[in-house]
Structure 1
Amino acid sequence: MSETTPEVLFVCIHNAGRSQMAAALLDYHAAGRVVVRSAGSQPANELNPAVVEAMAEIGLDISKEFPKPLTDDAVKASDVVITMGCGDECPYFPGKTYLDWKLDDPAGHGIDAVRPIRDEIDARVRALIAELIPATDTVS
């Protein structure tokens, strides 16, 4: 059993929607067993209000979060880099696991359009946790 904590970076263009939801959901479901970061290749000024509302509906308050710029250091520190529509703007470093999650962009959409995106991200995050954290880590 590994003694290291997996580190995951979620990247999208504005770091105002998908990557923020994914980071909050992974942080919540992993309960401290994964280090989580998010960033944007072109960070927005603020989070998408519909994304904040959709997350609040499931009990996660991300209203204090803010879009962060993508840095080489964030990528280097991560074991897994999950991109969500940032294309070739994400730096590549050998030895990292890169995944590309094709998801609709919540930008410019209301809560009704954001909910299914949130739910899809939640399902993917739960599957990711199952891969990152061995089932033997559970208490009998």
Structure 2
Amino acid sequence: MSTDTDDTDPIRIAFVCVQNAGRSQMSTAFAERERDRRGLADDVEILTGGTDPADHVHEEVVDAMADAEFDLSDRTPRAITNGELRACDYVATMGCSTLDVGGVDDAVDVRDWALDDPDGQDPDRVREIRDEIERTVSALFDEVERERVSGE
């Protein structure tokens, strides 16, 4: 975790993959919901992006998230910069071995969630990946809440 911030700075979390069209978009949607549910709107900033963004969010991801009452149809994959990553407390990569976070210093907690890519998967498999992401994001927010409460 970044040590150059004080208690009033938001905790910055980035969800990153290569295309920013599947796993990182699902993670971002679940993170936004967790932030709101837990009353952390002023305490947590969420970023998402990819190293080689796609033109649109994968259709199977849009459909699976719609089943969970999220509308990702208006989201657009975007590039993320090393500067944005360096400003984060946590960076969650989605299992994209080609993602280079080498420009991120040791103060950033980088985690590789090693999630399967939903692109081209059947709907049941995409929903399984979605549900795994939901659990993983919730666990991360448990940590963030503990950090914010304990002031670590």
Fold shared per TM-score above 0.5: yes
- Pick one of 8, 13, 24 that aligns with 1:8: 13
CA contact (8 A) 1:10 1:82 kept: yes
Q: Which residue of 1 aligns with 2:124?
A: 112
Compute the displacement of 1:86 (Å).
2.7
Q: Which residue of 1 aligns with 2:113?
A: 101
- Pick one of 25, 35, 40 that aligns with 1:20: 25
Q: Which residue of 2 aligns with 1:64?
A: 74
Matches within 5 A, 1:32-51: 32=41, 33-51=43-61
Amino acid at match of 2:35: A
Distance (whole Å) between structure 1 residues aligned to residue 72 and residue 11 of structure 2: 22
Matches within 5 A, 1:101-140: 101-134=113-146
Distance (whole Å) between structure 2 residues aligned to residue 103 and residue 135 of structure 1: 25
- Identity among equivalent positions (%) equals 36
Compute the displacement of 1:115 (Å).
0.2
Give the stretch that moved more between structures: 55-64 or 12-21.
55-64
Distance (whole Å) between structure 2 residues aligned to residue 135 and residue 78 of structure 1: 15
CA contact (8 A) 1:13 1:85 kept: no
Give the match's secondary structure for 2:25: helix
Compute the displacement of 1:23 (Å).
0.6
Q: Which residue of 1 aligns with 2:64?
A: 54
Aligned residues: 137
Q: Which residue of 2 aligns with 1:89?
A: 100
What TM-score, normalized by structure 2, do the two folds share? 0.82
Distance (whole Å) between structure 2 residues aligned to residue 92 and residue 136 of structure 1: 22
CA contact (8 A) 2:17 2:93 kept: yes
Structure 1 unaligned segments of length 5 or more: list them: none
Amino acid at match of 1:7: R
Distance (whole Å) between structure 2 residues aligned to residue 125 and residue 111 of structure 1: 21
Compute the displacement of 1:73 (Å).
2.1
Give the match's secondary structure for 2:13: strand
Compute the displacement of 1:11 (Å).
0.8
